[in-house]
Structure 1
């Protein structure tokens, strides 16, 4: 299978272009040669077959050959809002969430968060996570790259939302007695889901109450306590299964 590359640029049949530095380095590391095939996508729908035309010392030229109409996205647009897990778990979470089909990730500080990021450091991490998402999209065959939005405080983010979701549903991972199982949505998944998941230790009661006031419905994944980086991925996997059952 030819290597896949994401380009944040217009693409059209027959065009010739010089790849950006990161993409050029990727091609050089793979030791491709003129005439070798690559696949390009820009998140605007489908992908393009292309071939290497020149291997420079620091850049690579390709010729775009044909557009292929395809989509490997979930029929449900799932946006994740996450109390950021500590250490390197956020990297793995972003990678796997991309593979499982998330369309956006909102990193959040909450009362029990261990990881705290502000200012320039927060933006560096966000940029790094965007790169992780791009690499995962290239590897997994996705035709779009999830957007990793700037780090926010949970209360501020919830306060920016309307009291009710206008274009889908809002779910909150919770152990509350009234939390519903994911199977409750079998056969009636909405077109868009915003999934809120807490950090290590979960959300505190005030945060959960605030989320409910913004239209978040409690969702249960069962009696076991899952890690902060496991719970949203398990939910995404469950949604993928429900999408398959609903076809």
Structure 2
């Protein structure tokens, strides 16, 4: 059954036309009146709906029931990702969503090779949000990760929220996975750009309570780190243990 994310209030018994992009998706799938689909808005659970009308420019649906379904991990993971090129950022956001990250914070660090003009920030954040929503539709999540607009790394670090575990991915990390604590309910993961964080940035992160972590003898591309670490942490603390 197709699943669609809608950024709007949803309620059992309501009938409405789908937004243009969602309607186009339903038309591409060639659904017909009477066909079922799932809807969710990130507020918890998902809704079962039925197609009522298929027009050339509109698709009308009716919500028939609500399922109190949650597929979120007990581990609250926040990814703090240094800005990278368009395709790499899209991949990072997509896979972070699939792996269960609850928030994605974008930072501009010293060695970022990709710069984002101020007048493009809003558009890019909206694009990343759409990538996350599409990934949530595909993987079955009923909530979409919150994506924070880019800010300088030092600014983010100065106002970083609390977490049980704070990890700085570094090829010269001081500890491996076996050294991490046995329990954690929240974790922040700092991932640098292709060139890594600068020595000053790493020192500032460690001073702020982050533990430098090395995964092994091989280096990963920046877009590979978030899914690898997310999978390892879900297996250790989250819902991969089931």
The normalised TM-score by structure 1 is: 0.91
Q: Is the 8 A contact 1:43 1:144 kept in 2?
A: yes
How far the C-alpha of 1:79 sits from its partner, in A, is 0.9
| Structure 1 runs not aligned, ≥5 long | none
Q: Which residue pairs with 1:142 in the alignment?
A: 141
Are 2:97 and 1:102 aligned?
Answer: no
**CA deviation vs aligned residue, 1:77-130 (integer Å, no higher than 9, x gap):** 111111122241111111111111111111111111011112121222111111
Q: Residue in 1 aligned with 2:235?
A: 241
Determine the structure 2 residue equivalent to 1:220.
214
- Using the TM superposition, give the Cα deviation of residue 23 of structure 1 relative to its aligned residue in structure 2, in angstroms: 0.9
Equivalent residue, structure 2, for 1:5: 4
Structure 2 unaligned blocks of 5 or more: none
In 2, Cα distance between the equivalents of 1:205 and 1:40? Answer: 46
Q: 1:169 aligns with which of 165, 172, 177?
A: 165
Q: Counterpart in 2 of 1:23?
A: 22
- Name the Cα RMSD after superposition: 1.7
Structure-2 residue corresponding to 1:92 = 91
Shift of 1:177: 5.1
Alignment equivalent of 2:191, drawn from 197, 200, 214: 197
Task: Report deviation, 1:160.
Answer: 2.4
CA contact (8 A) 1:187 1:246 kept: no
Count of equivalent residues: 241
Q: TM-score by structure 2 length?
A: 0.93
1:245, distance to aligned residue in structure 2 (A): 6.5
1: distance between equivalents of 2:181 and 2:205? 23
**Secondary structure of 1:123's aligned partner:** helix
2:64 match: secondary structure: strand
User: Deviation at 1:186?
Assistant: 6.3
SS in 2 for 1:210: helix
Report the secondary structure of 2:50's partner residue: strand
Checking the alignment, whether the CA contact within 8 Å between 2:234 and 2:241 is kept in structure 1 is no
User: What displacement does 1:133 show?
Assistant: 0.6
